[in-house]
Amino acid sequence: MKKSSILFSTTLSLLLFVGCGGGSSTPTQKKVTVAQALLGPLSGAKFKITTLDGKRVIAEGITTEGSKTDVNSAGLIQIPQDVKDALTKDLYIVEVTGGKDIDSDDDNVWDANPIDNRGSLHLVTSGTVLQKGSYKINILTEIVFESIKDRFETDTKMQLHKLIAQKANTLLKSADNDGDVNGDGKIDGWDLIAWSPAKDKSKLKVDYNSDLKPIVDFIHDKQDISNFIDNLF
């Protein structure tokens, strides 16, 4: 091979490699759902999954825009299969910002005029929860995240799980009074991530319209929700 064609071929390989976007995933690798972001479902929002200290980004991308008819097809957080497989029992932060809320009236029908979301939602949970692929990042996970984020550096994983369960018991009715979203007989973090605004408002101990809807509106407008959080707990 001539020198010039060797050079060309090397440059081409480099370009192809760069074209893959780096990282461990190949362009052909299938993406799988790890959670759904919703106030109403947040279509086309930016998402980022990081370690609990925020220092390492595990995955980032855009939530699914969805089918324009099925609200459950929008707001899905999808990551490459190998990235999902590499998640551990450690705690991770999922952050979702922007996008369009395609069902802001929570009636499970795609809104004629989806509203812009400017703020962010968060979820702190273990990698094994994300691997199950069927849970939600919602207004409850955001409220709990905001109320415990100052403890991430000081508390153990066990203490944080306990704290999340305590907050869940403040937000949801007791298990024997219809608050048990996932039906396992107790109220804890699992109920927060199973909770859907379209079907589970009756399970709240707090009042959705007076306590939570104003927070949803503030997030849509990217305003500071800390005063609301202080009043809730």
Query: Read out DSSP for 106-143?
Result: -SSS--SSPEE--SEEEEEEEHHHHHH--EEE-HHHHH
Reported residue count of the chain is 233
Cβ proximity to Ca ion: between 74 and 143 the closer is 74
3-state secondary structure at position 155: coil
- Closest contact distance (angstroms) between CB of 228 and Ca ion is 24
Q: Which of 33, 72, 182, 196 binds Ca ion (CB under 5 A)?
A: 182
Cβ proximity to Ca ion: between 51 and 169 the closer is 169
Q: Which of 95, 101, 146, 180 binds Ca ion (CB under 5 A)?
A: 180
Cβ proximity to Ca ion: between 107 and 230 the closer is 107
Instruction: Give residues 75-104 in contact with Ca ion (rule: CB under 5 A).
Output: 103
For Cα atoms 68, 71, 77, give the angle at the middle one, nearest 5 degrees: 100
Q: Which residues contact 192 (CB under 8 A, 6 or more apart)?
A: 138, 140, 141, 144, 164, 167, 168, 171, 172, 181
3-state secondary structure at position 93: strand
Cβ proximity to Ca ion: between 142 and 191 the closer is 191
- Closest contact distance (angstroms) between CB of 198 and Ca ion is 9
State yes or no: residue 200 binds Ca ion (CB under 5 A).
Answer: no
Region of residue 172 (phi > 0: left; psi between -120 and 50: alpha; otherwise: beta): beta
Q: Which of 111, 155, 211, 217 binds Ca ion (CB under 5 A)?
A: 111
Query: What is the binding site for Ca ion (CB under 5 A)?
Result: 103, 105, 107, 109, 111, 180, 182, 184, 191
